[in-house]
Structure 1
């Protein structure tokens, strides 16, 4: 039996990413979507996580890829809520119908459209 203390995850439950972190995540997602538009999915499907691929596909409205990944709007939004708002914030957003997460993706789509 180990003498080390059990790991506590409580600090992660209360952590909420900052506005700057959410903006950086959004900028990265928009850049990835632009890359896919320019070069196609080819190499990216080999190096990005399935969650990242699903998020970019959702942002691009690529329903065929989402279906191939066995993903849908709700699964993408639910997963991303945690990245955007932390554990407690995600629970609240899920309970309210993922309104804030949908708005975040809408803002990302507007930025993507503005970039071409």
Structure 2
């Protein structure tokens, strides 16, 4: 038996992002959607990850781009549930029908509409 200290794996456990982190993520997504409205997709589509492009397309209601990415509402909401609520929270969110994630996107759409 070794006298060395036991290994702690706590730093690897998934954590739930804070309300402030979710708000910052929402503000970033709204800003990206505004940029696409102003400049089109050409400047961003190859720079952002496919998940980010899909999320902005979903926020903008760009179903054509979502289809070209082979994405749909369910895949985008499921992916974002993980971003918004962490691994454990996402599992619960998915089981509950992604209602909080849908509400988060609805709030983002409202902020986008208020910005023009």
TM-score (norm 1): 0.90
What is the alpha-carbon root mean square deviation over aligned residues? 1.7
Q: Which residue of 2 aligns with 1:59?
A: 59
Task: Quote the offset at 1:9 in angstroms.
Answer: 7.7
SS in 1 for 2:102: helix
CA–CA separation in structure 1 for the residues paired with 2:38 and 2:102: 25
Q: Which residue of 1 aligns with 2:72?
A: 72
1:59-110 CA-to-partner distances (Å, cap 9, x unmatched) read 0000000000000000000000000000011000000000000000000000
Which has the greater radius of gyration?
2
Could you list the structure 1 runs, at least 4 aligned residues long, displaced by more than 2 angstroms after superposition: 8-13
List runs of 5+ in structure 2 lacking aligned partners: 1-6
1:28-65 CA-to-partner distances (Å, cap 9, x unmatched) read 00000000000000010110000000000000000000
TM-score (norm 2): 0.90
Q: Aligned pair count?
A: 110
Task: Quote the offset at 1:11 in angstroms.
Answer: 3.4
In the alignment, is residue 98 of structure 1 matched against residue 98 of structure 2? yes
In the alignment, is residue 88 of structure 1 matched against residue 88 of structure 2? yes
List runs of 5+ in structure 1 lacking aligned partners: 1-5
Task: Quote the offset at 1:10 in angstroms.
Answer: 7.0
Q: Which residue of 2 aligns with 1:35?
A: 35
The structure carrying a bigger helix percent of its residues is 1
